[in-house]
Amino acid sequence: MPATRPASREARDPLRDHLLQSVDTIEPWDDQEGAHQQAAREWIASGAPLYRTRKPDVPPMHLVSYFAVCDDQRELQLLVAHRKAGLWLPAGGHVEPGEDPWATVVRECQEEIHIDAVASPLIGERPFFLTVTPTRGPDSHTDVSLWFVLSAGAGTITSYDEGEFDAIRWLAHDQVLAQPIEQLDPHMHRFTRKLQHACSST
């Protein structure tokens, strides 16, 4: 389905067009991802604010970059125990105003797990997965999350932001799928199945 193009002057800025093009590169895994992709297109094209400007929920819908760090040789992925969310998630963070989502990955990778971001040869510096998710709790808002895939050996990550995370752990893809979804990002199983399929197809 072709992307909806912005009509207003505000929506025709280069960053918004680039973001639409990035969303268009994602091949949906299932109908749910296809619906989220279309919702993201319409939101970006509408001229609505894209970036969080005040914590935790202004505006109530804003961009997030996740990055799944994978040890390709051992077929492991890194999950972090996020203190505020109370869930095991990929690392990531909010996209700053005017920031390219890949630049968010590069910045947050250094801040959160203290390594340089190396794009996976599987997908490069493009988003691999997309979700539109209401958060939990009294300050609930909606995260439009672009999921990127990075490559790193498990032994290269020796420290992390302990103010943000309680712990980190490496899990095989099947181990991720065996975890109760209530303990994970609600889309973690779907992402992992898509990642498994992509890895088996290369």
Residue 29 maps to a domain:
no
Residue 2 maps to a domain:
no
The helix (run of H) or strand (run of E) holding residue 175 is: helix 173-178
Residue 24 maps to a domain:
no
Helices (H), 95-172: 101-113
Residue 97 maps to a domain:
yes
Q: Which two tokens stand for residue 153?
A: 């050996």
Residue 83 maps to a domain:
yes
Count structural domains, the chain. Answer: 1
CATH of the domain at 197: 3.90.79.10
Tell me the pLDDT tens digit for each residue of 123-156.
999 999 999 999 877 778 999 999 999 999 999 9
Q: Which two tokens stand for residue 190?
A: 């779907």
Tell me the pLDDT tens digit for each residue of 96-105.
999 999 999 9
Is the model's pLDDT at 11 over the cut of 60? Answer: no
Q: What is the pLDDT of residue 12?
A: 67
Could you give the CA distance from residue 152 to residue 173 in angstroms, rounded to a whole number? 15
- Cα 13 to chain centroid distance, Å, stands at 23
Residue 166 maps to a domain:
yes
Residue 115 maps to a domain:
yes
Q: What is the pLDDT of residue 7?
A: 46
Q: Which of 50, 160, 171, 85 is nearest to 115 (CA)?
A: 160
Could you give the CA distance from residue 99 to residue 93 in angstroms, rounded to a whole number? 12
Range of the domain at 69: 57-201
Is the model's pLDDT at 3 over the cut of 60? Answer: no
Residue 18 maps to a domain:
no
Q: What is the pLDDT of residue 140?
A: 83
